[in-house]
């Protein structure tokens, strides 16, 4: 009986690892049907690096957080089991994902540039684009959580951008994002977005708002430039 209890406790400790590892493997299998094994493994690892940035930042903030969970063709997320104490902490956690993901894509890019690997260049392009899309200024994407430190009303600007992308590049993922962002847009439209948050949640010094605004804009511009440049280099490698 004691051995069974110890085994159960050990299994419980491995639960988060099994959840993350298991859903990663499922995602690799799913993507492999369309893109092949090597690309699928690299792509899932890039998503993992992105989520690891969120996870480590949340841990550093002292928040209880669940291990990353993957869903094929949707992406992955970490479960924050506690509400961040203010918008600054939330923005920092949100920004950490795209920053880590950008670093991962840069590693692929520099190795691809030196080795001439079309596979790694394709992964670099996907990594830059993945993190750029995540910076769309709508909640619950990372971009929406970052710009909220300036004002959640910016989500109303991000919504038409998302709608334009959905019309010009229709995809189930974009449609899902649109559905997920509707409650946030409605709360901003009605002016009720503060009601479920602690008092003063968005009251941050102007210098803090400017810092995060500049970081958001700089990262978005960098990712857009890298995406365009890598796309051209990838086309050259394939010819």
Name the nearest CA neighbour of 39 among 118, 98, 106. 118
177/90 Cα distance (integer angstroms)? 19
Neighbours of 181 (CB within 10 A): 20
- CB-neighbour burial class of residue 36 (10 A; exposed 0-12, middle 13-18, buried 19+): exposed
**Residue 51 appears among annotated catalytic residues:** yes
**CA atoms within 13 A of residue 157's CA, in its CB half-sphere:** 11
112/184 Cα distance (integer angstroms)? 40
E-assigned strands of 65-126? 69-71, 75-77
Catalytic residue (one of 51, 79, 90, 195): 51
Are the C-beta atoms of 132 and 227 separated by less than 8 Å? yes
Name the residues annotated as catalytic: 51
């Amino acid at each position: 009986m004691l051995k069974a209890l110890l085994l159960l406790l050990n299994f419980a400790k491995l639960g988060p690892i099994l959840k993350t590892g298991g859903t990663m493997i499922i995602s690799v299998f799913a993507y492999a049907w369309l893109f092949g094994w090597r690309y699928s493994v690299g792509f899932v690892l890039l998503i993992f690096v992105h989520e690891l940035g969120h996870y480590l930042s949340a841990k550093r903030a002292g928040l209880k957080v669940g291990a990353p969970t993957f869903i094929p063709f949707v992406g992955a997320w970490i479960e924050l089991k506690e509400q961040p104490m203010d918008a600054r902490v939330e923005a920092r956690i949100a920004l950490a994902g795209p920053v880590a993901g950008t670093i991962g894509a840069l590693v692929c890019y520099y190795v691809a540039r030196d080795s001439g690997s079309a596979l790694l260049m394709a992964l670099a392009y996907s990594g830059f684009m993945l993190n750029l899309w995540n910076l769309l200024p709508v909640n619950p994407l990372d971009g929406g959580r970052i710009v909220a430190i300036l004002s959640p009303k910016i989500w109303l600007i991000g919504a038409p951008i998302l709608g334009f992308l959905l019309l010009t590049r229709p995809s189930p993922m974009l449609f899902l994002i649109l559905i997920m962002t509707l409650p946030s847009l409605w709360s901003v439209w009605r002016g009720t977005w503060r009601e479920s948050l602690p008092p003063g949640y968005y009251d941050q010094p102007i210098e803090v708002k400017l810092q995060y605004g500049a970081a958001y804009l700089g990262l978005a511009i960098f990712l857009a430039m890298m995406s365009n440049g890598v796309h051209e280099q990838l086309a050259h490698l394939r010819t």
